[in-house]
Amino acid sequence: MSQATEKPDGTGTPEREISHDEYDPVGTAALIGLYFLILVALWIFMYFVEFLGNDPTVIGSLMVGIA
Amino acid sequence: MNIHTYEKAWLAASLLLIVGFIVTITYGSVGLGIAMIDDSEDTIEPDELDEDERFAEPRVEQVGENEYEAYVVARTFFYNPDTVEVPANSEVTFYVTSGDVIHSYSVVGTNLNTMVIPGEVSTMTAEFDEPGEYGVICNEYCGGGHHDMEGQLHVVPEDEFDMTELSVEAPDEVELGDDATFEVTVENGQLDDLETTIDLEVGNETIEEAVTVAGQESETTTIDVDTADLGEGDHDWTVTVDDYDESGTLTVAEELEAGDDDE
């Protein structure tokens, strides 16, 4: 790992090293969070609006009394 | 193992997403009763549909108060029956099979859609709450006329729906003074009794007869018309039962030619 912390010019002076939990990529997290919300929204749209809104739907004859 | 906080959050969120998928599908199948079309029906010989009690006469049948069964045979390139008519507020089970190649029965704009495979009977049950007209198409390429293969599904308002059939047998010619006998058969395909009136209009006369046809039975009523009242000549007649009518012409002759007696 020593190479990774060296300056690219090879002078050997180490960069500031941060601990595991100090690494805090907020931008990446926000982007992934946004992707996640889009995914959830699309699922809800697809199932509840596009699929269930497309009545009539095939139902099971066993569930007939209940539904 | 040291897992970063964001990674933990991501893992938890993805697990939650999977649980969410499972919950929605479970809600659909348990809560709403949504089912898949399967091959649970026994297989059938596609060359012998004419001898099958369900498919020899493809039709709509009433099996419960608001329950109907529709039997449909798909062939290149049509559906029999071409138009399936059911009432609103009903639950209909479709039994669809093919007499030749693979077709499909797809009710356009809805989730009703099944493959129709020769030798298999596709069953699908659906509830129709609102009246409406749907197109039915074949979405499995079945040959040169595939694009013309279509049917109709009509969901009619409950009070406009009936399964009544009317047929009339009447003589063409009657000798003046004899009775003309009209045999009016009313068939009631529904389970409930049908109370209605038969209206017979012949010439200037109108005869009304009340009939009650038991559920899934047919009733033949004989109406005699005295031709002396009609007089000689041609008389148009119309028999009307609810929305159905049948008409013809009755000829009253002074004397029938020998061997021309209808009765």
> Of B127, B160, B193, which residue constitutes the final position of a domain?
B160
The answer to whether residue B3 is domain-embedded is no
- Output the furthest CA–CA distance in chain B (Å, rounded): 113
Do both B69 and B148 map to the same domain?
yes
Question: Looking at residue B204, what is its pLDDT?
Answer: 84
> Is the torsion defined by CA of B148, B155, B159, B73 positive or negative?
positive
> Which residue of chain A is at minimal alpha-carbon distance from B13?
A36
Do both B54 and B150 map to the same domain?
yes
The answer to whether residue B91 is domain-embedded is yes
Q: Report the residue from A29, A58, A67 with minimal CB separation from B111.
A: A58
Would you call B127 and A59 a contact, using CB atoms and an 8 Å cutoff? Answer: yes
The answer to whether residue B194 is domain-embedded is yes
Do both B144 and B224 map to the same domain?
no
Tell me the backbone φ, ψ of residue B105, rounded to 5 degrees. -125, 100
> Of B102, B125, B160, which residue constitutes the final position of a domain?
B160
Do both B136 and B200 map to the same domain?
no
- How far is B192 from B162, CA to CA, in rounded Å? 11
Query: For chain B, what is the domain count?
Result: 2
**Whether pLDDT at B6 is above 80:** yes
Would you call B125 and A59 a contact, using CB atoms and an 8 Å cutoff? Answer: yes
> Of B160, B179, B210, which residue constitutes the final position of a domain?
B160
Q: CB of A45 within 8 Å of any CB in chain B?
A: no
Q: How many CB atoms neighbour CB B4 within 10 A?
A: 13
Interface test with A, best of B24, B92, B155 (most A CBs within 10 A): B24
Chain B residues contacting A, CB < 8 Å? 2, 4-6, 9-10, 13, 17, 20-21, 24, 28-30, 32-37, 91, 93, 107, 109-112, 114, 123-129
pLDDT > 90 fraction of chain A, expressed in percent and rounded: 49
Would you call B111 and A56 a contact, using CB atoms and an 8 Å cutoff? Answer: yes
Do both B189 and B217 map to the same domain?
yes
Q: List CB contacts (< 8 A) between B17 and chain A.
A: 36, 39-40
* Host domain of residue B227: 164-253
Alpha-carbon distance B121 to nearest alpha carbon in chain A (angstroms): 15
Q: How many CB atoms neighbour CB B34 within 10 A?
A: 19
Do both B156 and B171 map to the same domain?
no
The answer to whether residue B225 is domain-embedded is yes
Q: β-strand B205-213 against B179-188: which pairing, if any?
A: unpaired
Do both B54 and B151 map to the same domain?
yes
Do both B132 and B217 map to the same domain?
no
Question: Looking at residue A8, what is its pLDDT?
Answer: 59
Mean pLDDT of B133-144: 96
Do both B170 and B141 map to the same domain?
no
Alpha-carbon distance A41 to nearest alpha carbon in chain B (angstroms): 11
* Angle B41-B46-B49 from CA coordinates, rounded to 5°: 90
Q: CB of A16 within 8 Å of any CB in chain B?
A: no
Question: Looking at residue B263, what is its pLDDT?
Answer: 47
Q: What is the DSSP letter of B2?
A: -
Question: Looking at residue B25, what is its pLDDT?
Answer: 94
The answer to whether residue B56 is domain-embedded is yes
Q: List CB contacts (< 8 A) between B123 and chain A.
A: 61
Q: CB of A55 within 8 Å of any CB in chain B?
A: yes
Q: What is the pLDDT of residues B183-202, one digit of tens each?
A: 999 999 899 899 999 999 98
Q: Report the residue from B37, B93, B128 with minimal CB separation from A56.
A: B128
Would you call B10 and A32 a contact, using CB atoms and an 8 Å cutoff? Answer: yes
Residue B233: give its domain's CATH number.
Answer: 2.60.40.10
> Which residue of chain B is at minimal alpha-carbon distance from A66?
B33
Q: What is the DSSP letter of A1?
A: -
Residue B61: give its domain's CATH number.
Answer: 2.60.40.420
The answer to whether residue B19 is domain-embedded is no
Would you call A63 and B33 a contact, using CB atoms and an 8 Å cutoff? Answer: yes
Q: Which residues of chain A have pLDDT under 50?
A: 1-3, 63-67
Question: Looking at residue B3, what is its pLDDT?
Answer: 87
Do both B153 and B169 map to the same domain?
no
Would you call A21 and B4 a contact, using CB atoms and an 8 Å cutoff? Answer: yes
Question: Looking at residue B177, what is its pLDDT?
Answer: 85
Question: Dihedral (C-alpha) B138, B143, B144, B148: value to the nearest 10 degrees?
Answer: -10
Q: Which residue has the higher pLDDT, A65 or B211?
A: B211
The answer to whether residue B223 is domain-embedded is yes
Q: How many CB atoms neighbour CB B69 within 10 A?
A: 19
Would you call B32 and A59 a contact, using CB atoms and an 8 Å cutoff? Answer: yes
Question: Looking at residue B29, what is its pLDDT?
Answer: 92
Do both B150 and B212 map to the same domain?
no
Do both B149 and B170 map to the same domain?
no
Would you call A36 and B111 a contact, using CB atoms and an 8 Å cutoff? Answer: no
* pLDDT confidence tier of residue B203, bands split at 50, 70 and 90: confident
The answer to whether residue B29 is domain-embedded is no
Q: What is the pLDDT of residues B78-91, one digit of tens each?
A: 999 999 999 999 99
Q: CB of A11 within 8 Å of any CB in chain B?
A: no
